[in-house]
């Protein structure tokens, strides 16, 4: 009987290790795609303005599907985007834990949220570190860009329209209060941050998780329906944290 249980345990360990290997290989492959997308986006950047902290570059529209509306109304604006736009960050979701820091750098698991209103001032999101009774889907003030992070990426759907935006807002209301999903196994009752975004986008017939594994930020960034409208990267200059900002522009 003991040998039987040991065999089962060993099998479970092998399966879990295999899944971890597959996950890391997938992350590395997606990271290469993301790096190329970021490089292409930055290569179109033209210098606009600089202050003590931020340097701004406008990225001229070159693709027909690129919508430049409601992105950055003015330099130093902290509310970027409109209904349906997706925010992703690769900051470490667990401070001081190097494993999550590594994974986040590879797969943008830091955090994800979706803009809820036209002005970009509200975000629908869920986090897992507020406390068990507070970890639920909420519509919050969009203060994302006021928080330090190695990178921020904002994405927009190529196929979004006003009707789909209305659906996203309606479906957002329907999941308010739903709890955080710590198992990472998808269901309609609980969510983790990028799973919530994937769930909402399914309601407008857009699949953001085509590998059918855990929905990571990398899955969303590499999805063919999504394109970059804003990118912020951190660097250190004279022992001071500074940022380069690239934003999509018609001009």
pLDDT in tens, the chain (251 residues): 656 666 666 676 665 565 565 566 666 677 888 999 999 999 999 999 999 999 999 999 999 999 999 998 888 889 999 999 999 998 877 676 666 666 667 667 789 999 999 999 999 999 987 777 789 999 999 999 999 999 999 999 999 999 999 999 999 999 999 999 887 776 768 999 999 999 999 999 999 987 766 788 999 999 999 999 999 999 998 899 999 999 999 87
Provide the whole-model pTM.
0.88
CA 173 to CA 170: how far, in whole Å?
Answer: 5
Contacts of 70 (CB under 8 A, 6+ apart): 81, 82, 118, 119, 120
Q: Cβ(89)–Cβ(110) under 8 Å?
A: yes
Lookup: tokens for 225:
């329906």
């Amino acid at each position: 009987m003991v040998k039987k249980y040991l065999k089962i345990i060993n099998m479970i360990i092998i399966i879990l290790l295999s899944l971890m290997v597959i996950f890391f290989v997938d992350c590395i492959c997606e990271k290469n795609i993301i790096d190329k997308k970021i490089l292409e986006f930055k290569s179109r950047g033209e210098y606009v303005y600089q202050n003590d902290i931020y340097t701004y570059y406008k990225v001229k529209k070159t693709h027909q599907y690129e919508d430049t509306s409601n992105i950055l109304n003015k330099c130093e604006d902290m509310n970027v985007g409109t209904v349906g736009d997706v925010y992703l960050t690769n900051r470490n979701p667990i401070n001081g834990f190097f494993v999550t820091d590594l994974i986040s750098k590879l797969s943008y698991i830091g955090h994800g949220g979706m803009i809820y209103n036209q002005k970009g001032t509200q975000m629908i999101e869920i986090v897992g570190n507020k406390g068990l009774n507070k970890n639920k889907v909420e519509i919050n003030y969009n203060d994302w860009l006021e928080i330090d992070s190695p990178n921020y990426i904002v994405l927009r759907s190529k196929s979004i329209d006003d009707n789909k935006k209305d659906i996203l807002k309606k479906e957002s209301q329907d999941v308010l209060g739903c709890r955080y999903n710590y198992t990472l196994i998808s269901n309609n009752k609980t969510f983790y941050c990028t799973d919530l975004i994937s769930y909402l986008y399914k309601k407008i017939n857009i699949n953001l998780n085509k590998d059918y594994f855990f929905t990571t930020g990398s899955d969303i960034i590499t999805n063919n329906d999504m394109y970059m409208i804003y990118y912020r990267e951190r660097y250190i200059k004279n022992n001071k944290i500074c940022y380069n900002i690239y934003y999509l522009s018609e001009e």
